[in-house]
Structure 1
Amino acid sequence: MENITITDNHIHVDPINGEGPLEVAKKFGRAGGNVMIIPNKPTWTVGKSCNFDEAMELVIKYVSMINENTNVRAFAVVGAHPAELSRRVKNGMELDLAEKMMKATFEAAQKLVIEDKAIGIGEIGRPHYEVSPEEMEVHNRLILYAMELAADADCAVQLHTESAEEKQFLEFAEMADKAGLERHKVIKHFSGPLVSKDENHGLTPSLIATKSVIVEGIKKGNNFLMETDYLDMLSRPGAVLGPKTVPRRTKDLLQKGILTEEDVYKIHVENVEKVYGIDLE
């Protein structure tokens, strides 16, 4: 059990509002974690003058810091959270201009993937809160556009959306088909235990690593990832789940026989390598 690889598929680092990349990585590593997939945080968390390019370049910088100074391997996922559009529209930006802005950001994210600075586009998607029908149409067009860019770059997409059930997974799967993106390269971040194929329609669910979700998920199979969605905010310590959670949860369930060593390898290595096209060995 000492030599197992453990991956947190969605974990943030924030030296401005939180502890920062090195402290988070060290906590993760001390708990037994090995691989962190880190999406950039929204521009407003960095500062009023921060733009999208700067936010994406910052997470690439943080990943380099972790790789150079700790025993944890880190990879960047870059993009623009759907709330970026909502905030700008709320502050008076025209919807069509906001859509163009988001498209340009996705194109910049794709370029970073092609340059091997990042391994996926994300987190992108649509709001988990109420917006106008017109705005929701834009978010859906943007999801499709991001998937098209990901298909061209042969990379993964991390989706942030409302709480998704089988109906939403099918909707996103059909979007992926239309975009020419392999369904398994669409990752539903912050997923519940929709592990069986008739529930997720071939998408890759990234299960939030509460005990109940993982225990329910593993009953249906091991074709999923695990994540904390750790925010690294001193004002919200431990939210959403703390950085030690995925390694501790994995080892606890392995000790109790709920996960097998084969399950752990599949979840934390094979699935990660397949979705992102990276080598963890």
Structure 2
Amino acid sequence: MLEADTPVLDNHLHLDPDNHRGIDAVEDFAHLGGTHLLVVNKPSWHLDCEVDSGEDFRPVFERTLEIVAEASDALEGRAWPVLGVHPGLISRLVDERGYSPDEAREIMQGGLDLAAEYVADGDALALKSGRPHYEVSDAVWDASNAVMRHTFEHGGDLECAVQLHTEASEDLTEVADWAEDAGMARHQVVKHYAEGRLEGPTPSVMSEKDRLERAAERGEPFLMETDYVDDPGRPGAVLGPKTVPRRVRWLLEAGYDDAVRNAHVETPKRVYGIDTKATLERP
């Protein structure tokens, strides 16, 4: 087991108590020493929710809040919800449901307006947005960037972090510039599924050893994640819920104590304003 005073945060994962493991995955995480989670709502269509307006996202967000409350009860720390709209939704709306890119943009921005209400009320910690990581038309790309920049406006107004799902890149300086133009602090832009090096946003590094070693050696602020999808049809798509505590143990054994403190204490406080030490209740 890990030392009693070592918080262990998975910065980005999904839970689906209705269709897959749910709290069982949280208990696996906790059993190996995991203490804190940032739980991102699953893509709306994965929860059989077809949206035509921003209000249609409410059941997705409400179910996420419910599972986060259950997860907090199972942890020695706690869990926080991150709410938003997966950027891949634009392709579903345009390619499968016949909306124009501008109509899809309006629907997605409406969902983010609703997510921002939860942040404003103190029920969610941060927002999630981004743009497709695959090739799309210029119109869809432009609409996606407009959705992301709309999210940054909320981030600036609410002084909250925004997690991004984007294309693979080690330089998203322009995106961080957009966030800063909208009134956000650059470090509150978080690139999920990041490599060990990133210019612009704060990297949330996928917890593979080579990526983590690079982030640890670099010495810049970073977070750790699995992007666990809790989907029985995709068991090997991403990393499992036990991975972050195992990788924290590996980092400590390799002498990267400063990197562990960076990823699990200092950067969470800097980015989200959360105190993983004060919220840790271990005997």
Of residues 246, 270, 273, the one that matches 1:274 is: 270
More deviation, 151-160/56-65: 56-65
* Per-residue CA distance 1:216-260 (angstroms, 9 max, x = gap): 121111410000001111122243001010110110121122x12
> Residue in 2 aligned with 1:17?
19
Q: Within 2, Cα distance between the matches of 1:173 and 1:150?
A: 12
One-letter amino acid matched to 2:127: I
Q: Within 1, Cα distance between the matches of 2:9 and 2:107?
A: 32
1:186 aligns with 2:197: no
> Residue in 2 aligned with 1:110?
116
User: TM-score of the superposition, structure 2-length normalised?
Assistant: 0.91
SS in 1 for 2:13: coil
Shift of 1:275: 0.6
Q: CA RMSD in A?
A: 1.4
Q: Could you tell me the percent identity over the aligned residues?
A: 39
CA contact (8 A) 1:78 1:118 kept: yes
Q: Within 2, Cα distance between the matches of 1:238 and 1:72?
A: 27
Q: How many residues align?
A: 270
One-letter amino acid matched to 1:36: L
Q: Within 2, Cα distance between the matches of 1:244 and 1:207?
A: 16
* Per-residue CA distance 1:160-202 (angstroms, 9 max, x = gap): 0010122xx11111111211110000000000011xxxx513x
SS in 2 for 1:219: helix
Unaligned stretches of 5+ in structure 2?
A: 279-283
Shift of 1:17: 3.2
One-letter amino acid matched to 1:182: A
CA contact (8 A) 2:131 2:166 kept: yes
Q: Within 1, Cα distance between the matches of 2:182 and 2:272?
A: 18
1:172 aligns with 2:175: yes
CA contact (8 A) 2:84 2:127 kept: yes
Could you list the structure 1 runs, at least 4 aligned residues long, displaced by more than 4 angstroms after superposition: none
Q: Within 1, Cα distance between the matches of 2:236 and 2:122?
A: 31
1:94 aligns with 2:96: no
CA contact (8 A) 2:16 2:230 kept: yes
Shift of 1:72: 4.6
Matches within 5 A, 1:147-166: 147-166=152-171
Q: Within 2, Cα distance between the matches of 1:30 and 1:145?
A: 39
One-letter amino acid matched to 1:17: N
CA contact (8 A) 1:222 1:267 kept: no
SS in 2 for 1:10: strand
> Residue in 2 aligned with 1:120?
126
Unaligned stretches of 5+ in structure 1?
A: none
Q: Within 2, Cα distance between the matches of 1:246 and 1:222?
A: 19
SS in 1 for 2:82: strand
